Structure 1
Amino acid sequence: MRPVQRHTLLLGSLLLGLSTAYPLQAAPLSDFEQFRSYPYMDRSYREAKKGNWKEVERLMRHLLEKVPKNDEARALLVESLAKQRRYKDAIQALPKDNSEAVLDLRLTWIEQDPPSSTQVEQWMATSDLNDRVRLWQAYSLSLAKFGGAAKAHDWLAQLSPKGDENILRLARANWSEQLRDWSGTIGELAPLAARKQLDAEGWQRLANAYVQRLDEKPLQQLLQQAPDPQAARKVRLAMVDRAIAMGHDQQAQRWLQSLPAADLADPAQRQRLWELARQTDDVPTVQRLSNDLQRPCLETTEWLSRHDPEAALTQLRQCQPSEDPQAWLVLAQRLQATDLLQSTRLPEPWDSRRQAQLVDVWQEQGESSKVMVWLAGQTQTPAVVKRRAELAQRMGRRTEEQTLWEYHYRQTGNLASLNQASFLALQSGDRAHARQLLENAYDRHGARLPPVALQRLAGLYASSKDITPAQQRRMASLISHIDGATRGQLLAQLAETGQCDAVQQAIGSHPQAAGDYRALARCAMPDRPGEAVVYYQQAEKLGDRSSRLPLAYALEAAGDSTGALAIWRSIPAAELTDNARLTASRSALNAGDNQAAERFWQQSSTRGANEWSLGAAIADARGDHAEALQRQRRALQIAPDAGHFYAASVSAQKAGDLAQSDAWLAEAVRRDPANPRYRADYGMRLSGAPSREERATAIPYLQQATRDFPEDYHLGETLAWRYDEIEDSASARKELRRVIDLEQNPVAADDEDGSMEARRYRQRRAHEALSRRDNFTIASTWSPAGVSTNDFLRDDDSQGSNRSPNSQNVQVAMWDHALGEEPSRAGSSLSVYGRVLLGGQSRTRYAESVAAGVGLRYKPWGTQNINFYGEIYKQSQFDDKDNHGLSLGQLINPDKLSDQLDDHRQDGHTTTDYLLRATASFLDQGKYRNDWRVDESEWDERFLYLDAAWWTKAGDHQWLSRFQQGHTWKLPLNGAQTIMPYGFLEFASQDPSNDWRQDLRTGVGLRWQWWYDDDRYNAYRSKLTVRTEYQQSLGGNLYEGGNGVLLGVEWNF
């Protein structure tokens, strides 16, 4: 019953007690009192429904003050106080003589809100026996509810009995039982049992405690007081169950046998007794009950065989083998019933096993020869053959054993037999038979072969030298079924035979073992030595020391001769083969350790053409070119090929025997005309020949070389120079354009001639020089006393009359046009040119003189900057009385300039002459050239300029020579701009009227240049030059020793 329901019932009984007991002492309410009480009662019931008990209390107390005799109000007041768990106030509100109501209220108090044990014990002290029992019963239940059974038991244990001892003992025994305190239970109930004061429930509780403790003697005594036989029987069965559960089989068996005869006749109990007898090794009981229960004969024999072999053998003779042939065989063997094994026949396959067991018995008796003879006489079933093979194995008859295992495999296809037969064949040295046996099995069964057999076949393949295609296919499929070591050997064998696809497929994209990396490295050699190096290094990291030597070969093949040499040095010399010594020699040579290269080479014994050629290369590296040449001659005496002649030509060149070098290189090309390297080198060699005709023969070789090595800009540039030399400028420009296009994505960086950018600029400058047909020049010079600017003829009447050191300015515009199909032919050219000159006798007056000329310019040599001119020259100038010029502003005004030219036509004094002229410039090539440098921030420039002119009609001569040297810096500005301070020494001479005059002067100046107008194929076509210099006369009478500042502006495009 739930506490809420119990509480409701208690309150109901409380109210019922008040309604039945209290009215006997109070008179019924009058009508007025009932009328007066009604509103309060009605409201109180309504508040009670709402659970508002405080309001109910207030209303009822108020009503009782007015109507003290209203027992219904008093009952409702008590209920409201109890609902508020104010039990003490509720008891005080009860009538003094209503003990039953007080008890019920106390019981409710104990259940709902247990008071202290002291309070309860005080109540018990003032209560009669029944109320006392009810109180401690209720309080113990409450303690168990809120604190557990132990708390209830402990409180009851400390109570002193007051006429309720038996009841207390029963209660404490109940709590002890719940606590599984069997000793406590026995302690409480045993005295009652001794006094025979136990009821049936107490007797059952005490019996259960004895059972739990397996306490036989007290239980036997207690059974004599059993309430009835059925209770005693249940206790005995409980004792049996408890003893079995605790593993006390003998005790269980005793109690089971103490059951009444009717129970012992029960098959279920007899079955339990049989099981207990088996557990307690009670042989007679087991035999008796097995017969009674009709247990299988072989089952009983099996149990007896482990407890009484003699009885088991007797039992076995009574059993029928057909019931369970397998079990019969096991028991016959266990009991060593040799006579039964010989005399009994069993159905197959058990009869074969019987025979095998019989053979085992004989064998245990040491009669192996008898067994072998007996088995040979039997039908050679697979079992018999296997037995014979096993016995031959034990007897050490290997040849017979191999034959029998192979026979058994062919009979049954048993793979274990195959494995043993192949092992024995291999052990006996018959590798071919073992391999054939395993191959046939593998073709039939594939990867289902035993791992050991697969391993064995792989090992045979790994150690074989001649592998057929079919065997290669088997090797590829075997790889995933063998251990790491053999797998590595097999992969190496596949790699060695070129089955790299199978290797890659077997390894996949994530190699792990050292053998994987070693096989991949072997496949990478010799085509991908760099990849092989990575694989060998990884294999070595995984502990594969055998990869160290091939790693050295791979490093050398990959170009890492230094790394290879380190490995060669780490290997003892005695472990190096002759080939390894020669390879180590080559590694040392490539690494620059010439002494080590010579030492390794000397340690080798092989001396073929290749070895002598290697020795020559080493001697060359050591600087002993004579020895190198001698070794090359030895190489050429031993079956030389084109490569040997090529190497010999290199050595001969280094030794200075160029004729022999050329001859050997030509022989190398003759022997191997398809070798692109030989053709390219031969073409380069011919291009450097001393005669032009020989250099021309290089063109076909260079043409082919540029197709073989399109990335080699040296070949392309050289071919372009050869085209230019034979005056094929179009082909030269085409080849230069190809090289320039190639250099947009260069494969070579800086070279001995400068940086990559300088190389590009050189190619574009060459293309620009070959392409330029027209040259335009516009210049203006302001100089002291006409120094270096007097290009005007004077009338014979005025010659020598005006030699004062006055300033002079000259403006020149010139156009030069190259003639012919190509602008340049091997550096020589023929051009027609025209020029217009304006001059003035001061710095501020312009166009006082006007001249024009048309002529031819011939540059005969491509390697020298020498030019010859022939020109028709016409000049106009005013007389002194009519002399007038233009200002700078007027000069740049087209109308004013046109008027000045008209004045010259009308009033000017005009003369015509024929000019022959020669110019030359020296010392201005190479690093002193006047050109832009892309890879230099500063450089030197110089030139020696010579100029000779003859006016044939007037008979005048002019000579000018000027040496100038300066240092140029790039300006940190946009575009190609430079500035150069310089110094010069200049000599000039003229002979007007056969009166020679000279001038020698020096000075310093500052020049600014701006280069521009370039494109993909052409370097800067145009430049603007501004210079200023101070001139100091050193002597002479040509310019009357005039000193001053010169300013010049020149625009070339």
Structure 2
Amino acid sequence: MENHPLSSPWEKQRRLALARIYVKKHQEEKALQILPLLYPDIDIILARALLLEKLNRFREATIARSEIYKLNPDTDSLDHLTYNQVNAGEYTGLLQTVSEHVSRSFDGHYTLLPLSVQDRFINSLSKNMPLIQKWQASKTEPLLASLDYKHRAIFVGNVIPHISSDQEISNLCRTLPPHESNPDPDGDTALGHCAMAQHRPGEAAIYFSEVQRERSDIWPVLVYALSAAGDTSKALEVWREYGQMVPSESLATVLARDALQEKDFSSLRKLIPDLTSDIPDNDILKAKLALHDGEERIALSLASHVMDLNPSIDQTMAAIQIADKAGNHDQALNWLQSIWEKYPDNADLKREYGMRVAGLPERKKRLQALPLLNDSSKLQPNNIKIGESLAWLFLADDDRPAAMRQLEQLISLPQNFALTKEDQKQQVQQRYMWRRTHADLSRRDHITLASIWSPAGIGEVVGNNQLSSSRRGVGQNMQMGWWDHAISDSLLTRGKGLAVYGRFFIDGPGRTEYAAYLGGAAGVRYKPFSRLNLNLYAEVFDQYTRYSLLASSHHKYPAKGQNSNTVDMMIRASASFFDQGDFRNDWREDRSHWNERFLYLDGAWWVHKEYFQGVARYQQGHSWKLPINQPQTIMPYGFGQFSSQNNNHLFREDFRAGAGIRWQYWFNETPFNAYRSALTVNIEYQRGLAGSLYERANGVLFSVGVQL
């Protein structure tokens, strides 16, 4: 029988019988020879496949089962073929087989695959990520129609994270019923992956949290979802509860960022060993931990290493931030310049670099930011930081008209009512300060008129001999005016000043005697510093004295005698301190009350007569807005004052203190200019404490002044 082939159909029976005899004799190779793969009969190929399966030669069995499936592509053949493909490790072949099977058999009717095939398909899918990434949408519909809900959910959950097409994601996710109709861990997992892929991490976290109750192994994707949803503290909590061992470096990076966000440096320190070096994001995290530990040099070294790794824009900006916090601002600026030069058309980089350069202390370097911020302003006309920086740069460039136009643009911006109440107050005050700056730039002339009257105590009377020690305190009344005209735009824009001025005064030594002294002066005023309120004066002074009396203040020339005229040059310096920022004398839009204070120093020297007057006054008070719909304030205050005179080498001084109350009314505003004028009324009581100038006389002073 072994050597005598038979005619069909007896030849098939001969081969099958011989194969059984060879198997019983453990001659499997002979059996396989008598059962050739290409024999034109399915029973012979089936016997060969069964024998190969018995011998655990699944790769060869797969070939045999593939031939059987070609001859009879039913679900039973598919079941046996996929069984062998799984055992042979041919996962790609299995996925292709199943996909081709459902594509061929799909005719609009939803016929499910055998459960065993569905199981093998899903299990193989998780082991063949490259094939998932190449998945074609055209295969999806028949495939999903051949899977039950459980396997369909698992399939979608596995495939979704690897698909970039929004349309494909949407098509896949529509095949899943809502959670309410079929609550199931696999379904919720798939719904969670769909939500993540469609940029709804908060919803995904809800689904994954449901799954977590039954499957603790879901915690990594739950952490991803919580982190993407901004719930970084919860993400760290899940990690601590389920997975001190982090399964992937990408998850470790996410957790490290969350720990940094939460300022949880102990957790960050635990995660750092899981981060590979020479990866920019990882080195940035390590650098930030080093900054927290006070290791600025290590942090800067790591940031420098990041810059050597061809970092992205975001990574470069993180390195720049590290350099800033490490105190190396020059290096930060160099890195910013390099990334801007690499991406010159990037509007955000241009803006950031321009803002940095605009903040440099050197004026020439600051001006290099003008073209950058000009371009940025055209792209972002409503950006307050850009607009404000531009205004200050125009001032630094002595371009007063451009600075005013930029301020007008800022003032015209609509108010942002979405801010918090406190931020809205700051916005209102910021707009007022723009208007205040615009008002200062828009005017060259300042006029001050004042009248001061005191019934007793702060004037002085001497005999005909000025050097006599016979002195007594008297009343005083005085009217004065001052006109100041700025003559230098460049100094004005830099916060300095050069001006010509003229002034006059009319003075009397008592309550009823007026115009005992008539005086006037013309001169030049120079403000040399922008950040220091110091003014230097030089003037030609002329005074007419109708009586042989002498008042002690306001820089009046010492009397020569009745009906005498005096012409002299006066050199004067005045300065004020402690009166800026929160203590300035100015209207506040965002407050109902505020503190004010100043230390005022003033000294004058008459060159020809060698006569000196000086005064130092410290005053502090608290202003309240009056509860009316007008810009008025009331301020009680206290003060201390020191005065001195040196006339013909006769030095006299006075020290006094007192308290008073001031009322102010602000007016003369426009849409672009803050209040440019103020009316001020003071009344104060002065008590002499020491000195011979006023014989320590007490007195009351009343004054009215207006600034125009």
- TM superposition score category, shorter chain reference: 0.7 to 0.9
Matching residue of 1:1023: 678
Deviation sequence 1:299-329 (CA, Å, 0-9, x none)? xxxxxxxxxxxxxxxxxxxxxxxxxxxxxxx
Matching residue of 2:614: 960
Counterpart CA distance in 1 for 2:389 and 2:335 is 22
Q: Is the 8 A contact 1:561 1:590 kept in 2?
A: yes
Counterpart CA distance in 2 for 1:767 and 1:788 is 41
Matching residue of 2:102: 438
1:589 matched to 2:257: no
1:504 matched to 2:142: no
Q: CA RMSD in A?
A: 4.8
Q: Counterpart of 1:949 in structure 2: which amino acid?
A: A
Deviation sequence 1:237-274 (CA, Å, 0-9, x none)? xxxxxxxxxxxxxxxxxxxxxxxxxxxxxxxxxxxxxx
Give the alignment of 1:329-728 within 5 angstroms: 407=71, 418-429=74-85, 430-431=93-94, 432-442=96-106, 445=107, 447-452=108-113, 465-466=130-131, 471-475=136-140, 482-492=147-157, 493-494=159-160, 496-504=162-170, 507=173, 511-512=178-179, 514-515=188-189, 517-524=191-198, 528=199, 531-541=200-210, 548-636=219-307, 646-674=317-345, 679-703=350-374, 713-728=384-399
Matching residue of 2:602: 947
Q: Is the 8 A contact 1:476 1:494 kept in 2?
A: no
Matching residue of 2:29: none
Counterpart CA distance in 2 for 1:788 and 1:514 is 92
Please report how far the alpha carbon of residue 841 of structure 1 lies from its aligned counterpart in structure 2 after TM superposition: 3.2
What is the TM-score of this pair, normalised by structure 1?
0.51
Q: Counterpart of 1:777 in structure 2: which amino acid?
A: T
Please report how far the alpha carbon of residue 991 of structure 1 lies from its aligned counterpart in structure 2 after TM superposition: 5.0
Please report how far the alpha carbon of residue 1049 of structure 1 lies from its aligned counterpart in structure 2 after TM superposition: 1.9
Structure 1 residues 455 and 434: alpha-carbon distance in aligned structure 2, compared to 1, 3 A threshold: same
Structure 1 residues 664 and 507: alpha-carbon distance in aligned structure 2, compared to 1, 3 A threshold: closer
Q: Is the 8 A contact 1:960 1:986 kept in 2?
A: no
Please report how far the alpha carbon of residue 593 of structure 1 lies from its aligned counterpart in structure 2 after TM superposition: 0.6
Matching residue of 1:16: none
Please report how far the alpha carbon of residue 1048 of structure 1 lies from its aligned counterpart in structure 2 after TM superposition: 1.5
Paired positions, count:
624
The sequence identity of aligned pairs, in percent, is 30
Matching residue of 1:729: 400
Please report how far the alpha carbon of residue 830 of structure 1 lies from its aligned counterpart in structure 2 after TM superposition: 2.7
Matching residue of 2:446: 775
Q: Is the 8 A contact 1:772 1:823 kept in 2?
A: no
Deviation sequence 1:709-733 (CA, Å, 0-9, x none)? 7666445434433332332333333
Structure 1 or 2: more strand by fraction: 2
* Aligned with 1:926 (options 577, 581, 585): 581
Counterpart CA distance in 1 for 2:229 and 2:404 is 38
1:1043 matched to 2:680: no
Matching residue of 2:477: 809
Counterpart CA distance in 2 for 1:714 and 1:785 is 54
Counterpart CA distance in 2 for 1:695 and 1:564 is 44
Please report how far the alpha carbon of residue 807 of structure 1 lies from its aligned counterpart in structure 2 after TM superposition: 1.4
Give the alignment of 1:733-752 within 5 angstroms: 733-742=404-413, 744-745=415-416
Secondary structure at the counterpart of residue 931 of structure 1: coil
Q: Is the 8 A contact 1:389 1:405 kept in 2?
A: no
Structure 1 residues 506 and 611: alpha-carbon distance in aligned structure 2, compared to 1, 3 A threshold: closer
Structure 1 or 2: more helix by fraction: 1
Q: Is the 8 A contact 1:594 1:622 kept in 2?
A: no
Please report how far the alpha carbon of residue 674 of structure 1 lies from its aligned counterpart in structure 2 after TM superposition: 5.0
Please report how far the alpha carbon of residue 968 of structure 1 lies from its aligned counterpart in structure 2 after TM superposition: 0.7
Please report how far the alpha carbon of residue 1046 of structure 1 lies from its aligned counterpart in structure 2 after TM superposition: 0.7
Q: Counterpart of 1:499 in structure 2: which amino acid?
A: S
Matching residue of 1:973: 627
Q: Is the 8 A contact 1:533 1:551 kept in 2?
A: no
Q: Is the 8 A contact 2:624 2:633 kept in 1?
A: yes
Counterpart CA distance in 2 for 1:673 and 1:751 is 37
Please report how far the alpha carbon of residue 619 of structure 1 lies from its aligned counterpart in structure 2 after TM superposition: 1.5
Q: Identify the structure with bigger relative contact order (alpha carbons < 8 Å, sequence gap 6+).
A: 2
1:1052 matched to 2:675: no
Counterpart CA distance in 2 for 1:629 and 1:702 is 29
Structure 1 residues 784 and 995: alpha-carbon distance in aligned structure 2, compared to 1, 3 A threshold: farther
Please report how far the alpha carbon of residue 658 of structure 1 lies from its aligned counterpart in structure 2 after TM superposition: 4.5
Secondary structure at the counterpart of residue 702 of structure 2: strand
Give the alignment of 1:874-953 within 5 angstroms: 878=546, 915-934=570-589, 939-951=594-606
Query: Structure 2, unaligned stretches of length 5 or more?
Result: 1-19, 21-40, 55-60, 86-92, 180-186, 550-561
Counterpart CA distance in 1 for 2:141 and 2:538 is 88
Q: Is the 8 A contact 1:947 1:960 kept in 2?
A: yes
Deviation sequence 1:1001-1053 (CA, Å, 0-9, x none)? 33232223344555654444333322222222344444454420111222224
Q: Is the 8 A contact 1:956 1:993 kept in 2?
A: yes
Counterpart CA distance in 2 for 1:711 and 1:480 is 54
Deviation sequence 1:314-371 (CA, Å, 0-9, x none)? xxxxxxxxxxxxxxxxxxxxxxxxxxxxxxxxxxxxxxxxxxxxxxxxxxxxxxx9xx
Counterpart CA distance in 1 for 2:635 and 2:133 is 80
Deviation sequence 1:926-982 (CA, Å, 0-9, x none)? 333223345556544332222233456x63634232221323142451345444333
Secondary structure at the counterpart of residue 1049 of structure 1: strand
Q: Counterpart of 2:487 in structure 1: which amino acid?
A: L
Counterpart CA distance in 1 for 2:490 and 2:460 is 33
Q: Which has the larger radius of gyration?
A: 1
Counterpart CA distance in 1 for 2:141 and 2:571 is 90
Give the alignment of 1:997-1012 within 5 angstroms: 997-1012=652-667
Please report how far the alpha carbon of residue 436 of structure 1 lies from its aligned counterpart in structure 2 after TM superposition: 2.2
| Range that drifts further, 984-993 or 961-970 | 984-993
Secondary structure at the counterpart of residue 973 of structure 1: coil
Matching residue of 1:841: 509
Counterpart CA distance in 1 for 2:313 and 2:683 is 63
Matching residue of 1:224: none
Please report how far the alpha carbon of residue 482 of structure 1 lies from its aligned counterpart in structure 2 after TM superposition: 4.8
Structure 1 residues 983 and 485: alpha-carbon distance in aligned structure 2, compared to 1, 3 A threshold: same
Matching residue of 1:255: none
Please report how far the alpha carbon of residue 498 of structure 1 lies from its aligned counterpart in structure 2 after TM superposition: 1.8
Deviation sequence 1:637-658 (CA, Å, 0-9, x none)? 6555666555444434433444
Deviation sequence 1:411-434 (CA, Å, 0-9, x none)? xxxxxxx54454444334252334
Counterpart CA distance in 1 for 2:601 and 2:207 is 72
Q: Is the 8 A contact 1:1005 1:1030 kept in 2?
A: yes
Counterpart CA distance in 1 for 2:114 and 2:646 is 115
